Amino acid sequence: MNETNIDRILENIMHVMPVFHRKLLKMDLGGVNANLTRLHFAIMGVLSEGSLPASELARALMITKPQMTHLVDQLVKMGIVERQPDNRDRRVINLALTGNGSKLRDEMKQKIDANIKSKLTCLTQDELQKMANALETLKIIGARLN
């Protein structure tokens, strides 16, 4: 293993992550429930693809089951997520977005996309291409990590 490259990766991650957080992801969603966190939105995003048991949802988002339970309880209380018995195994409880949850997720996604797009307008086409390529590479590499 090349320690120099690993050191460079560590150094760059510590600089890049806060920049992305501060300059691209931190925003006012105007009118959207302020009690929702990025993890709530991530749960809503995964559940927009279909219902899942809490354990699979926790695995997909790489968070602990107790943390998932707490977050889901909050979303259930807000009427965004509901618990549904599994048709094949009555011991399993699936989590699903409610109609209101799906609508809220779509509204949030539109606001987030618009906000990020407006922040990226300062970049040149070449910089946008490089960023798109770099993020695709990170996505592929990230999927291979344990």
pLDDT of residue 144: 87
Cβ–Cβ under 8 Å, residues 41 and 59: no
For the domain spanning 3-144, the CATH number is 1.10.10.10
User: 10 Å Cβ neighbour count for 42?
Assistant: 16
Strands 81-85 and 93-97: antiparallel
The least confident of 34-38, 54-58, 99-103 is 34-38
Nearest alpha-carbon partner for 57 in 40, 32, 37, 76: 40
Q: For 106-124, how does the pLDDT look when each residue is reduced to its tens digit (9 = 90+)? A: 998 898 899 889 999 999 9
The one-letter amino acid code at 91 reads: R
- What is residue 20's predicted lDDT score, i.e. its pLDDT? 81
Lowest-confidence region among 30-39, 76-85, 96-105, 119-128: 30-39
Predicted confidence at residue 80, as pLDDT, reads 95
